[in-house]
Amino acid sequence: MLAEEMYEFRGQLKERGIIFCYSGYMTEDVLAGIGSAIRRKLEIEEADRRTAKILFSVFVEQVQNVIRYSAEGEPPNVPPGDFDLRYGVLTVGIQDDMYFVACGNLVKNADVDPLGAALSHIKALSKEELKVLYREKLKDGPPEGSKGAGVGFIEIARRADNGFDFDFAPMNDEFSYFCLKAYI
């Protein structure tokens, strides 16, 4: 039964084209470990170097977003800004002949509108406009660790050749679930 259940779970992931899946506390060590496994897998697949680099870049920005901003974490009963560990889900896979990197994490309801607005704005920009905004953020953007859609999302938008989708699902009075999926 154990094996059957796990195999079934694996099958569900496979059906969705998922090659890598991680659900749990995201740390920089997890990032480094999964990162090198992804690179290895792409080497074996003989994905071209450009695609491999872009996928890795999008992966790093996605995971670092979760590490810095997920509103679910440990220890409990402290404000999300003070978490030592932050929870998130990461999947990397292939769908319609494109690689994708998707991340999900809780966000506070109060952050849904500003984050959504910033991402909609970024999504609508041309390559050239993204470049200009990126420069502005490098010059005057908020420092590392501060809230708001920083340079990481712009990096994702610039690198992901086939764009990205995102949305939110309301959970309760305090939190919503946020997911961003980038296509390479």
Partner 1 sequence: MENLNIQATQRTPEVDFNFEKSIFFLRGESYPEDVTSFYGPVISQLREHLASREGVEISFGFELIYFNSSTAKILFGLFENLDEAASAGNKVNITWAFEEDDDNMEEMGAEFAEDLEHADFQLKQLKG
Question: Which residue in 138, 162, 163, 167 binds partner 1 (CB under 8 A)?
Answer: 138
Using CB under 8 A as the binding rule, whether residue 3 contacts partner 1 is answered as: no
Using CB under 8 A as the binding rule, whether residue 88 contacts partner 1 is answered as: no
Is 106 within 8 Å of 72 (Cβ atoms)?
yes
Which of residues 18 and 63 has its CB atom nearest to partner 1 in the complex? 63
Is 106 within 8 Å of 178 (Cβ atoms)?
yes
Question: Which residue in 40, 50, 81, 95 binds partner 1 (CB under 8 A)?
Answer: 50
How many other CB atoms sit within 10 Å of the CB of residue 122?
A: 20
Q: Which 3 state secondary structure label does DSSP give 35?
A: helix
**How many residues comprise the chain?**
184
Tokens describing residue 80: 């999300």
CB of 135 to partner 1, least distance (A): 7
Question: Which residue in 10, 16, 40, 49 binds partner 1 (CB under 8 A)?
Answer: 49
> Which among 53, 37, 171, 41 is positioned nearest to 104, based on CA atoms?
171
Q: Which 3 state secondary structure label does DSSP give 171?
A: coil
Q: Which stretch binds partner 1 (CB under 8 A): 14-22, 81-89, 143-151, 175-183?
A: 143-151
Using CB under 8 A as the binding rule, whether residue 151 contacts partner 1 is answered as: yes
> Which among 119, 108, 105, 106 is positioned nearest to 22, based on CA atoms?
105
Using CB under 8 A as the binding rule, whether residue 154 contacts partner 1 is answered as: yes
Residues that bind partner 1 (CB under 8 A): 28, 32, 36, 48-50, 53-54, 56-57, 60-61, 64, 131, 134-135, 138-139, 141, 144, 150-152, 154-155, 159
